[in-house]
Amino acid sequence: MKGKTRYTDEPIGEPRVIRDFLPSPKELAFREEDIKITITLSRKSVDFFKAEASKADTQYQRMIRRLLDAYVDAFEGVPARGATRSRARASAK
């Protein structure tokens, strides 16, 4: 901005109140409980996530955790495939 801003003493119009939509600081600080596990992954998978994490300037373990969380979110409430087959077999008898 090269020019100066000039303010005038004109009416603003009809102001309206906007509902507070921002999360509280407590909500922003929320963090899910993590649990440490030991898991063996293929070198191919780990190399892939390390390379992608490097490109995205993040941690590869965080990427794997987010992938697993996304999978859980996508399948929450969806019956397990084995359970669906069992029900189908039971109803066919």
Domain ranges of the chain: 39-92
pLDDT above 50: residue 72: yes
- Backbone φ, ψ for residue 51 (5° rounding): -65, -45
**What pLDDT does residue 38 have?**
96
pLDDT-derived band at 82, boundaries 50, 70, 90: low
Angle at 21 between CA 16 and CA 26, to 5 degrees: 145
Sign of CA dihedral 69, 74, 77, 82: negative
Round to whole Å and give the CA distance between 10 and 12: 6
Helices 43-56/60-75 angle, 10° precision: 100
Choose among 54, 72, 53, 73: nearest CA to 63: 53
Greater pLDDT, 23 or 35 = 35
pLDDT score at 51: 96
